[in-house]
């Protein structure tokens, strides 16, 4: 079925006139990004040439998407918003809570039993507020959105950092926290700092073992994990036209790994082909008439350096397959250099598990090309040496791949096909065969490879690459194998070389599915009761955070000074903790337990200066809170990198952390902190981080005159009596300061509804 056709028709009605008007007012040619952003300015927002990276702008997205792990907290907040029905089309996708263990059939039964309370809550709230519901095993949110909801020129937000996947179909799709989603579902504007623009020019054409995944893996090595912060990556050039729509989605998806606000490709014939084969010919008919609106202006293409803040060129014809990792997605190795890197850094060469799937690489094309590698190996007398796990992206992909024999190819080679869910990509992997101390390597087609992310083991070296390369390395069983140049010995003792992968971008016989897994909300949900048991360990109704007390923060203890990388996985782990995503009190027991203490380089072991003893981070925070104290968290660069999970902001707020002071923030996390009424501050001089001592009492002064653009003052009262003071910066505007004063953005929203 086709969704939202009337909405899309409405969006498209005056699109060309709107773009022409924007160009006239701005007074210059427009990039694709600018056309879509300016066409989605919120009602009453002035049309002008906003300063990139400086001005905050209000937008009106067309829809909201939520996955089950983040939807719980988003919907708990929606219930406190005062709204009785969502103002824009919204969906919930049950893809995070299915643990990969045995196989798709058994794992789904276990998930439906273990998560019944949460699934029922999500379905009840969806019915009550008019939200579309995709049941467990329907597929991974971003693949399902691409198949059903993404449309050229549209704008959406999603409570998952990989929402930009929809950029493969020329949609501005931005990952956010639940509070941002609640604003939009409640009919409010979505606030965003006008992004800078990074133009990536693609020339040439992929061939051989290279794939779309290698474009973003190479780019990650160029930009690093924070190089895209507060920027949108816009791809252009002749090379874009040869990439499939799902390949483009793969590239946009993993733009989150360089911190980009989102990524986007122009609309072309490949986009139209994908829309048509997924049952959306009506959208093709409409969008093709507006093709100029969904591409950058010709003048931009002719002189990109004039219109983008940064331009990077990648020649697809020369692109090698890449393998990135371990422990960070921007450690990029062309496969020709991987073997020497393995030897140089002593990475475990024995490749134990290959994992194909995730929201990044689980399309039909991905399955097709990976299956061709396995099939060729079988025909050559080669077996798969590593354990191989497959996670299809959606029920539609799985059903079609089963019909076409792709899944049989994997299973006959010994692979296990898991549910259509995130699984090992987000720590939902029960890997019983290895201990936490086991030093090993795995290779995945996923997007992230932070320590402990996949299996909870800090000693698992996870490498990210394309599905084709995962398949090849799984056959070889070693990281040092290069399928472009190396041979393998088959069952007859012969030296054989793997042929290059081949596959279909789209299924020759079209897509097929028996039950896609969608449940439409009832027409009138006003009588639906949403019940949360008082004794529940999974769900807990939210109580509003207290408003600011009108005073400076004075003489509060340090909770932790984090050393090095501190992602949302370090701040609020996934894996076994996913079951508490709807219970703020319980999940707060994982707050910052993965962060490395700068004073002893241990995790979850911080000093209680009152007793001179060491406690777990949440335990110490709870102790301070019970004593009527707050606390301060200090950290380094790109704090909050990774997932959109707002729990990483809500947990410190709940445990009375007063301020997070860092060298720099990741975009989504900084916004999440602001939405929850937290103080998110940065060192004006990054060297001041070094001045913070373990037993300091810390003050933040200047809050009584909290003003946009005006620094606050951080004061360190050292135990020896010395005092150091220095400025700390913030990026709060007037609206965000009002959230802080109200206690949270939700508090302010609720008050506005009550007064309206």
Cβ 29 vs Cβ 307: under 8 Å: yes
Burial class (CB in 10 A: 0-12, 13-18, 19+), 381: middle
Q: Please pick, among 96, 123, 538, 647, the residue that the annotation labels catalytic.
A: 96
Is the alpha carbon torsion for 410, 411, 415, 419 positive or negative? positive
Helices (H), 269-311: 269-277, 281-288, 298-302, 304-307
Q: Would you state the structure tokens that stand for residue 563, as one six-digit string?
A: 């050393």
How far apart CA 373 and CA 371 sit, in angstroms, is 5
Question: What residues have CB less than 8 Å from 502, skipping those under 6 apart?
Answer: 369, 372
Per the annotation, the verdict on 336 as an active-site residue is no
Cβ 425 vs Cβ 391: under 8 Å: yes
Cβ 413 vs Cβ 386: under 8 Å: no
* Backbone dihedral angles phi then psi of residue 495, each to the nearest 5 degrees: -85, 120
Q: Please pick, among 123, 645, 647, 669, the residue that the annotation labels catalytic.
A: 645
What one-character-per-residue DSSP string does 449-500 give?
--TTTTTS-TTEEEEE--HHHHHHHHHH-BTT--TTT--EE-TTS-EE-PPP
Beta strands, E only, 600-650: 606-608, 613-615, 631-634
Q: Please pick, among 643, 644, 699, 750, the residue that the annotation labels catalytic.
A: 643
Look at residue 16 and give its three-state secondary structure: helix
How far apart CA 255 and CA 182 sit, in angstroms, is 24
How far apart CA 659 and CA 726 sit, in angstroms, is 15
Per the annotation, the verdict on 95 as an active-site residue is yes
Per the annotation, the verdict on 96 as an active-site residue is yes
Strands 132-134 and 190-193: unpaired
Per the annotation, the verdict on 645 as an active-site residue is yes
Q: Please pick, among 95, 404, 455, 688, the residue that the annotation labels catalytic.
A: 95
How far apart CA 406 and CA 622 sit, in angstroms, is 52
Task: Calculate the alpha carbon distances from 560 to 158, 297, 571, 573, 613 in Å.
Answer: 31, 50, 11, 17, 14
SS3 content of the chain, % helix, strand, coil (to 5): 35, 20, 45
How far apart CA 258 and CA 231 sit, in angstroms, is 10
Q: Would you state the structure tokens that stand for residue 422, as one six-digit string?
A: 């995130």
Is the alpha carbon torsion for 442, 448, 449, 453 positive or negative? negative
Question: Within 10 A of 416 (CB to CB), how many other CB atoms are there?
Answer: 17
Q: Would you state the structure tokens that stand for residue 407, as one six-digit string?
A: 């899944």
Instruction: Return the C-alpha torsion angle 361, 362, 364, 370, nearest 10.
Output: 70
How far apart CA 130 and CA 486 sit, in angstroms, is 56
Per the annotation, the verdict on 643 as an active-site residue is yes
Q: Please pick, among 124, 160, 180, 297, the residue that the annotation labels catalytic.
A: 160
Q: Which of 414, 354, 366, 352 is nearest to 394 (CA)?
A: 366
How far apart CA 89 and CA 157 sit, in angstroms, is 11
What one-character-per-residue DSSP string does 665-693 give?
B-HHHHHHHHHTT-EEEEESSGGGGGG--
- Element of type H or E holding 119: helix 116-129
Is the alpha carbon torsion for 578, 581, 586, 587 positive or negative? positive
Cβ 74 vs Cβ 66: under 8 Å: yes
Q: Would you state the structure tokens that stand for residue 731, as one six-digit string?
A: 């990026």
Counting runs of H as helices and runs of E as strands, what totals does the chain give? 26, 30
How far apart CA 162 and CA 290 sit, in angstroms, is 27
The tally of CA atoms less than 13 A away on the side-chain side of residue 553 is 26
Helices (H), 462-600: 467-476, 568-571, 584-587
Q: Please pick, among 63, 142, 280, 448, the residue that the annotation labels catalytic.
A: 448
Question: What residues have CB less than 8 Å from 328, skipping those under 6 apart?
Answer: 225, 449, 450, 565
Residue reference for tokens 């893996």: 217
Active site residues: 95-96, 160, 448, 643, 645
């Amino acid at each position: 079925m086709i969704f939202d056709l009337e909405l899309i028709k409405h969006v498209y009605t005056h699109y060309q006139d709107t773009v022409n008007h924007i160009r006239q007012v701005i007074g210059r040619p427009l990039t694709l990004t600018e056309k879509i952003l300016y066409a989605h300015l919120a009602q009453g927002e002035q049309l002008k040439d906003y300063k990139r990276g400086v001005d905050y702008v209000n937008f009106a997205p067309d829809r909201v998407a939520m996955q089950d792990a983040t939807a719980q907290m988003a919907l708990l907040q929606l219930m406190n918003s005062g709204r009785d029905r969502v103002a824009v089309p919204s969906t919930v996708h049950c893809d995070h809570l299915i643990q990969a263990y045995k196989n798709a059939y058994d794992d789904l039964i276990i998930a439906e039993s273990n998560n019944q309370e949460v699934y029922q809550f999500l379905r009840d709230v969806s019915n009550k507020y008019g939200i579309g519901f995709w049941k467990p095993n329907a597929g991974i949110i971003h693949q399902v959105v691409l198949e059903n909801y993404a449309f050229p020129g549209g704008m959406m937000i999603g409570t998952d950092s990989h929402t930009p996947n929809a950029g493969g179909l020329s949609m501005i799709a931005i990952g956010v926290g639940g509070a941002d989603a609640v604003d939009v579902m409640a009919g409010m504007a979505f606030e965003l700092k006008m992004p800078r623009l990074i133009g990536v020019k693609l020339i040439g054409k992929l061939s051989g073992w290279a794939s779309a995944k290698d474009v973003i893996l190479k780019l990650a090595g160029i930009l690093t994990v924070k190089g895209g912060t507060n920027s949108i990556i816009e791809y252009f050039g002749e090379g874009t036209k040869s990439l499939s729509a799902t390949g483009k989605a793969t590239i946009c998806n993993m733009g989150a790994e360089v911190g980009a606000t989102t990524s986007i490709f122009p609309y072309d014939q490949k986009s139209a082909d994908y829309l048509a084969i997924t049952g959306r010919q009506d959208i093709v008919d409409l969008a093709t008439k507006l093709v100029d609106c969904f591409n950058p202006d010709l003048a931009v293409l002719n002189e990109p350096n004039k219109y983008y803040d940064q331009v990077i060129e990648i020649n697809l014809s020369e692109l090698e397959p890449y393998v990135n990792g371990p422990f960070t997605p921007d450690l990029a190795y062309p496969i020709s250099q991987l073997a020497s890197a393995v030897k140089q850094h002593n990475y475990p060469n024995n490749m134990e598990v290959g994992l194909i799937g995730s929201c990044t690489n689980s399309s039909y094309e991905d399955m097709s090309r990976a299956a061709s590698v396995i099939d060729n190996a079988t025909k050559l007398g080669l077996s798969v040496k590593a354990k191989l796990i497959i996670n299809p992206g959606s029920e539609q992909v799985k059903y079609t791949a089963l019909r076409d024999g792709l899944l049989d190819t994997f299973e006959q080679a010994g692979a296990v096909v898991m549910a259509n869910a995130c699984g090992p990509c987000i720590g939902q992997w029960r890997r019983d065969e290895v201990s936490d101390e086991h030093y090993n390597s795995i290779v995945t087609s996923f997007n992230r490879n932070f320590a402990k992310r996949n299996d909870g083991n800090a000693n698992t070296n996870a490498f990210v690459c394309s599905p084709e390369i995962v398949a090849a390395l799984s056959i070889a069983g070693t990281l040092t194998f290069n399928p472009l140049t190396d041979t393998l010995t088959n069952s007859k003792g012969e030296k054989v070389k793997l042929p290059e992968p081949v596959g279909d971008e789209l299924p020759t016989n079209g897509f097929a599915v028996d039950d896609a897994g969608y449940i439409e909300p009832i027409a009138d949900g006003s009588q639906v009761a949403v019940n949360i048991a008082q004794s529940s360990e999974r769900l807990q109704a939210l109580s509003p955070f207290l408003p600011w007390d009108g005073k400076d923060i004075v003489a509060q203890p340090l909770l932790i000074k984090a050393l090095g990388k501190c992602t949302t996985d370090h701040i609020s782990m996934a894996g076994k903790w996913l079951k508490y995503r709807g219970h703020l009190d319980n999940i707060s027991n994982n707050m910052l337990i993965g962060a490395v203490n700068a004073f002893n380089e241990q995790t979850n072991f911080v000093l209680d200066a009152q007793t001179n003893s060491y406690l777990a981070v949440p335990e110490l925070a709870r102790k301070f809170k019970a004593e009527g104290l707050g606390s301060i968290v200090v950290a380094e660069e790109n704090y909050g990198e990774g997932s959109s999970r707002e729990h990483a902001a809500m947990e410190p707020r709940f445990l009375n952390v007063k301020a997070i002071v860092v060298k720099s923030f990741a975009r989504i996390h900084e916004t999440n902190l602001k939405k929850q009424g937290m103080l998110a501050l940065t060192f004006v001089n990054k060297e001041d981080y070094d001045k913070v001592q373990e037993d300091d009492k810390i003050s933040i002064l200047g809050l009584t005159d909290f003003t946009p653009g005006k620094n606050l003052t951080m004061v360190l009262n050292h135990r020896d009596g010395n005092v150091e003071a220095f400025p700390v910066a913030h990026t709060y505007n007037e609206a965000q300061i009002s959230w802080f004063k109200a206690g949270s953005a939700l508090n302010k929203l609720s008050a506005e509804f009550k007064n309206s």
